[in-house]
């Protein structure tokens, strides 16, 4: 597909990693083109969404993923399919053979992210900030002691920003690990300096101390966002 009429654009690019921003605003023409790109399994999933906005998010993000994966893998859309790991994380297949491509996607509201990397264990998350929620109440079930303390000390807009920043960081880590919410987010905390506002750091799950991840806060005015990626042995000795 040419650049004319696409609904995604490069958002973060560094080294061997790329994150695309996907525009999820209502657009009948885009939605029709995106739906036509989906395979039968994806169309069945699309049909199970009861809310129109959820259908739009799924179709536009999934079609953007398909088009860009095909470009990176040198295959046609018909040759591309997806399998799923034990906890639901997708992987790409070309003509039925696992491709080894590492990708992840996230969407919230009218924004989506699709991330690619040559590294293993990628997780991206995006959260549109919604004020007026019971942040302390929700935080009590998903955050650890230091995270809850920081949240309780914040107020107003600062509390909103902190809640979503912490959540995007933790969600990116869970997605990078690939276990889904079989691992409760309350069982681990993001690095202390990042609770206090740091933008990046090395993270280790308490039950996997020898498996470090690089964690980044990518938040911007439109939304909170984060990326996590498993560090290679070469990274650890650099």
Burial class (CB in 10 A: 0-12, 13-18, 19+), 39: middle
For the stretch 232-236, contacts whose Cβ atoms lie closer than 8 Å and that sit 24 or more positions apart, written own/partner, are 232/119, 232/120, 236/212
Q: Are 35 and 43 in contact (CB under 8 A)?
A: yes
Residue 55 maps to a domain = yes
Amino acid 182: pLDDT: 82
Please identify, among 40, 66, 100, the residue that sits at the C-terminal boundary of a domain: 100
Kindly state whether residues 78 and 134 are assigned to the same domain: no
Kindly state whether residues 85 and 164 are assigned to the same domain: no
Kindly state whether residues 78 and 138 are assigned to the same domain: no
Kindly report the backbone phi and psi dihedral angles of residue 69, in degrees, each rounded to the nearest multiple of 5, phi listed first: -65, -45
Amino acid 5: pLDDT: 78
Amino acid 1: pLDDT: 43
Amino acid 101: pLDDT: 92
Kindly report the backbone phi and psi dihedral angles of residue 225, in degrees, each rounded to the nearest multiple of 5, phi listed first: -155, 155
Amino acid 23: pLDDT: 98
Helix residue ranges, H only, 187-228: 192-195
Residue 16 maps to a domain = no
Amino acid 181: pLDDT: 77
Cα 228 to Cα 65, 171, 231: the distances in Å are 18, 9, 9
Amino acid 185: pLDDT: 93
Q: How many domains does the chain have?
A: 2
Amino acid 236: pLDDT: 59
Amino acid 225: pLDDT: 98
Amino acid 88: pLDDT: 83
Residue 7 maps to a domain = no
The parent domain of residue 78 ranges over: 25-100
Q: Are 182 and 175 in contact (CB under 8 A)?
A: no
Please identify, among 67, 100, 133, the residue that sits at the C-terminal boundary of a domain: 100
Report mean pLDDT in 10-residue bins for the chain, 238 residues.
Answer: 74 93 97 97 95 95 97 97 88 94 96 94 97 95 96 97 98 92 90 96 95 97 97 69
Kindly state whether residues 48 and 94 are assigned to the same domain: yes
Kindly state whether residues 154 and 71 are assigned to the same domain: no
Residue 118 maps to a domain = no
Report the C-alpha gap between 148 and 211 in whole angstroms.
25
Kindly state whether residues 130 and 70 are assigned to the same domain: no
Kindly state whether residues 130 and 168 are assigned to the same domain: yes
Kindly state whether residues 155 and 207 are assigned to the same domain: yes
Kindly state whether residues 144 and 184 are assigned to the same domain: yes
Residue 214 CB contacts under 8 Å (≥ 6 apart), including other chains = 200, 201, 202, 203, 228, 229, 230, 231, 235
Residue 120 maps to a domain = no
Instruction: Find the CATH number of the domain harbouring 190.
Output: 3.90.470.20
Residue 15 maps to a domain = no
* Helix (H), strand (E) at residue 234: helix 233-236
Report the C-alpha gap between 175 and 87 in whole angstroms.
10
Report the C-alpha gap between 66 and 92 in whole angstroms.
9
Kindly state whether residues 136 and 223 are assigned to the same domain: yes
Kindly state whether residues 67 and 137 are assigned to the same domain: no
Residue 161 maps to a domain = yes
Kindly state whether residues 143 and 216 are assigned to the same domain: yes
The dihedral through the CA atoms of 92, 95, 97, 100 has a sign that is negative
């Amino acid at each position: 597909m040419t650049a004319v009429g696409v609904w995604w654009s490069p958002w973060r690019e560094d080294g061997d990693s790329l994150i695309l921003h996907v525009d999820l605003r209502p657009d009948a023409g885009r939605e029709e083109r995106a739906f036509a790109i989906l395979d039968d399994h994806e169309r069945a999933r699309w049909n199970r969404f009861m809310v129109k906005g959820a259908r739009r998010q799924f179709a536009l993000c999934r079609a953007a993923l398909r088009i860009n994966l095909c470009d990176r893998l040198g295959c046609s859309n018909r040759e591309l399919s997806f399998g799923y790991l034990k906890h639901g994380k997708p992987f790409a297949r070309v003509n039925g053979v696992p491709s080894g491509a590492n990708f992840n996607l996230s969407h919230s509201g009218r924004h989506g992210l699709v991330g690619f990397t040559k590294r293993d264990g990628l997780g991206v998350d995006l959260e549109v900030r919604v004020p007026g929620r019971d942040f302390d109440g929700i935080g009590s079930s998903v955050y650890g002691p230091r995270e809850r303390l920081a949240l309780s000390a914040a107020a107003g807009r600062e509390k909103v920003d902190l809640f979503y920043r912490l959540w995007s960081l933790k969600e990116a880590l869970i997605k990078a690990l690939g276990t889904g919410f079989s691992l409760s987010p309350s069982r681990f905390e993001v690095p202390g300096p990042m609770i206090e506002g740091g933008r990046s750091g090395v993270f280790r799950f308490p039950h996997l101390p020898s498996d470090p991840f690089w964690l980044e806060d990518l938040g911007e005015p439109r939304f909170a966002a984060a990326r996590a990626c498993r560090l290679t042995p070469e990274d650890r000795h650099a």
